[in-house]
Amino acid sequence: MSKNVQLTPYKSIHDLQKLKDWFYNTQEEDDDVDLRYRGIEKVSAYMTRGNIPHSIEITSLITSSILLDEKLTNTTFYKTKNDDEERLLDEEDIQVNYSAFDVMPIKLSYTMTIIKFVNGLLDPFQKSNFAISLHKLATILNLPSLFVELRHIGTHEFIPSLQILRIIIKCSLNWLKLHYWDIILKDYKPLSIQDDDVDGGGDVQDDSDLQLDELNKSFKILRKIRKDDLSKVYKYGDSTDTGIKYNDALNIIKKTQNTELLINYMIFNNCLILNKIDNLNDKKLNGLKILYKPILEELGYDLCFKLFEKLLIDNDNVNDSNQVIKWLEYFLSNSLKFNKNSKYNSFVNKDTIDSILQTFIDLHDSKHVELLQFFQNTSFIKLNKLQDKIDNVIQSIKTPKTPKRKAVDDDDEEQLNVKRVKRTYFFETHSDWTPTPFGIS
């Protein structure tokens, strides 16, 4: 290993892992944001700081060409939006569907990208006095000769067809993943949420960003697995590939020591509370509750109670207060059943009812009256005949708080009177002072 210091525009291997995810995981689970645009912008920012490896730059350029193709032909990376099976569009397809469409800009973009891809990989190996065959250099790098041939054709002969270029571009992206990204990140270990410092003294803000990134990945995995089969519950020790993946992601979340970070993520990062509220109805909200139910139960009572408190306090700060109310009602309906490792086996029970009601009393917000009335009609309250207890809390909330007056003793009262009598002057007069002109003593 070289002992020389190597300066890089990125801070750590975690930044590279994030960049790889943006290029190869094209879309957020619950959003329409295409992560490839973020990757391209990040590489552009890195290039302003200094030199970056050719493989990173060319991954960005290849992705940029693909996005140009998708935009102009209205396709999604080798798959038409109306097709169920993946297939490549050829020029005849495009000419039929887009009569006034010119494919030459796409072909030129792909061709120039492939030429730069091959030249950037092979030119650094031309170190002898005589030029070495590019095919021989490609063999050293395990680069298929097809790339070299297409580079030669695009440079000296003609522009290949769009279908051929698409195939080669897809192969080049896969080649970079196998021979660059996977190799440099083979020793990458996901940042554990409980780690307070990645580099033993790094910036706290950077650590928080990395932890949020890991939370985002973990919740994305859990959502994807849960959506595949909402009725399936993965228990601890499940040896199936999906079960292992599910429990690994869940463990990363459970091990967090920064509870505030986790709770804020779940509320404000398009997790429990959806940012997009168009056409959001009770059916979709119920589906969201079913999706997160086993996850919340695994996280345990303590975290769920803190989440409940946060939702009560920050109701006005959330994008959609209706979603917050629905989640608060869900907690109070006692639908969550925690496992044996949790402090309590249910959210509402005889041991927790006082803590829940005390939270309402402390906040003393009249907006919570309807929520308490909902709570009053739940089966647990009726079964244990606690309606009167809820009524008392409602009445106390409806009664305005009277500000407490600070007690003042006699000495303090005298001091206050002195302060009231004392006046302030800009120019206070002095009886023993007479004006004297300058220069006269």
Three-class DSSP labels, 272-318: CCCCCCCCCCHHHHHHHHHHHHHHHHHHCHHHHHHHHHHHHHCHHHC
38 located within any domain: yes
336 located within any domain: no
Q: At what angle do helices 162-176 and 104-122 cross, to 10 degrees?
A: 40
- Name the amino acid, one letter, at 31: D
Q: In whole angstroms, what is the distance from residue 191 CA to residue 264 CA?
A: 19
pLDDT for res 44:
92
Residue 193 scores a pLDDT above 50: no
Mean per-residue pLDDT, 54-66: 94
Write down the pTM of the prediction. Answer: 0.52
State the pLDDT confidence band at 84, using cuts at 50, 70 and 90: very low
382 located within any domain: no
400 located within any domain: no
Q: In whole angstroms, what is the distance from residue 60 CA to residue 76 CA?
A: 17
Helix (H, G, I), strand (E, B) or coil at 337: strand
Share of the chain above pLDDT 70, in %: 76
Ramachandran sector of residue 283 (left: φ over 0; alpha: ψ -120 to 50; beta: rest): alpha
Nearest to 305 by CA among 269, 349, 273: 349
Check: CB of residue 165 under 8 Å from CB of residue 107. Answer: yes
50 located within any domain: yes
Cα 135–Cα 137–Cα 138 angle in degrees, nearest 5? 60
Check: CB of residue 215 under 8 Å from CB of residue 193. Answer: yes
What's the distance, Cα to Cα, between the start and end of the chain in Å? 85
Residue 238 makes CB contacts below 8 A (sequence gap 6+) with 244, 246, 247
- Name the amino acid, one letter, at 351: D
Dihedral angle computed from the Cα positions of residues 359, 361, 366 and 369, in that order, rounded to the nearest 10 degrees: 70
117 located within any domain: yes
What residues are paired with 34 via a beta bridge?
27
Helix (H, G, I), strand (E, B) or coil at 135: helix
State the pLDDT confidence band at 184, using cuts at 50, 70 and 90: confident
Domain count, the chain: 1
Mean per-residue pLDDT, 214-225: 89
| Domain membership of residue 24 as a residue range | 13-184
Cα 283–Cα 287–Cα 291 angle in degrees, nearest 5? 170
Which contacts of 184-192 are long-range, i.e. CB under 8 A and separated by 24 or more positions?
184/13, 184/16, 185/13, 185/16, 185/17, 185/20, 188/13, 188/14, 188/16, 188/17, 190/214, 190/217, 190/252, 191/14, 192/252, 192/255
Greater pLDDT, 154 or 428:
154
101 located within any domain: yes
What residues are paired with 79 via a beta bridge?
76
Integer Rg of the chain from CA: 33
Count Cβ atoms below 10 Å from residue 203 Cβ, excluding itself.
Answer: 12
165 located within any domain: yes
Residue 278 scores a pLDDT above 60: yes
Q: Which of 210-219, 286-295, 330-339, 374-383 has the lowest mean pLDDT?
A: 210-219
